């Protein structure tokens, strides 16, 4: 795996998540979380962000999917942060408007080092496949938290629940792809007037 990459294992009493991630990939992916619909969404994320991703999650699915989904978001977010390093030379910002039939979703990203999620996505049914729809927010929150990402996700309109969440994952993918892309005009500089990216929600780093 060439370019910016990271490998890690996150293990607790509830889950074990292994991640191998390449940011400068072609979308080669192998994903197994034990949750079919979640695998489908992560597959969309890797494909459309052009991430090379191997991810395996083993969790306490006999209880429910919550721990597996949240911890996968934490592990993937941490891998992104590790692969980015000091974030020098990246574009930093990205956004996408993703139509999927009757649905339109907007996603905006700042690879700021300051984790924050704005989530304006709602569903008309409690489950998709074997996955509770409320868990999608938990994944996006965990990814933003460990990735040091300011992330805004809003469904502007839509009816079909599958289309709503798939457009959100594809929007995340395309916005992330743009934000992590090298900016040749930055000449390896950190894209911040302060010279570093980091801090906490509401912090001063910009």
Which domains, from first to last, does the chain contain? 5-186 (3.30.230.40)
CA distances from 158 to 45, 98, 99, 162, 188 (A): 20, 11, 9, 10, 40
pTM for this predicted structure: 0.92
Which residue(s) pair with 132 in the sheet? 127
CA distance 127 to 3: 38
The greatest distance separating any two alpha carbons of the chain, rounded to the nearest whole angstrom, comes to: 51
pLDDT, position 188: 76
Coil, helix or strand for 166? helix
CA distance 77 to 9: 12
The two tokens of residue 77 are: 């977010």
- Across 77-113, b (16+ Cβ under 10 Å) vs e yields bbbbbbbbeebbbbbbbbebebebeebbbbbbbbbbb
The two tokens of residue 95 are: 């956004």
CA distance 20 to 8: 7
pLDDT, position 150: 97
The pLDDT tens digits along the chain (206 residues) read 347 999 999 999 999 999 999 999 999 999 999 999 999 999 999 999 999 999 999 999 999 999 999 999 999 999 999 999 989 889 999 999 999 999 999 999 999 999 999 999 999 999 999 899 999 999 999 999 999 999 999 999 999 999 999 999 999 999 999 999 998 887 777 766 566 666 534 444 45
pLDDT, position 186: 77
pLDDT, position 191: 66
pLDDT, position 204: 43
pLDDT, position 12: 96
CA distance 96 to 107: 5
β-sheet with 103-110: strand ranges across: 93-100, 103-110, 150-157, 116-120
Q: Are strands 29-32 and 52-59 parallel, antiparallel or unpaired?
A: parallel
Q: Is the dihedral of CA 52, 58, 62, 65 positive or negative?
A: negative
Q: Name the region of 95 (left: φ>0; alpha: ψ -120 to 50; beta: rest).
A: beta
CA distance 205 to 113: 8
């Amino acid at each position: 795996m060439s370019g910016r990459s990271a490998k890690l294992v996150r293990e607790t009493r509830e889950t074990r998540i292994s991640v191998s991630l390449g940011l400068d990939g072609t979308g080669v992916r192998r994903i197994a979380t034990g949750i079919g619909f979640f695998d489908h969404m992560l597959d969309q994320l890797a494909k459309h962000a052009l991430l090379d991703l191997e991810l395996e999650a083993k969790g306490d699915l006999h209880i429910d999917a919550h721990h597996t989904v949240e911890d996968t978001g934490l592990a993937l977010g941490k891998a992104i942060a590790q692969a980015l390093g000091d974030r020098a030379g990246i574009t930093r910002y990205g956004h996408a408007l993703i139509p999927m039939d009757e649905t339109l979703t907007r996603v905006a990203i700042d690879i700021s080092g300051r984790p924050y999620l704005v989530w304006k996505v709602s569903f008309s049914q409690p489950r998709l496949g074997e996955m509770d729809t409320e868990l999608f927010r938990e994944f996006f929150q965990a990814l933003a938290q460990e990735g040091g990402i300011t992330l805004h996700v809003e469904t502007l309109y839509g009816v079909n629940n599958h289309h709503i969440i798939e457009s959100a994952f594809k929007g995340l993918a395309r916005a992330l792809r743009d934000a992590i892309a090298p900016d040749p005009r930055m000449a390896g500089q950190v894209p911040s007037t302060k010279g570093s990216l980091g801090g906490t929600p509401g912090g001063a780093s910009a």
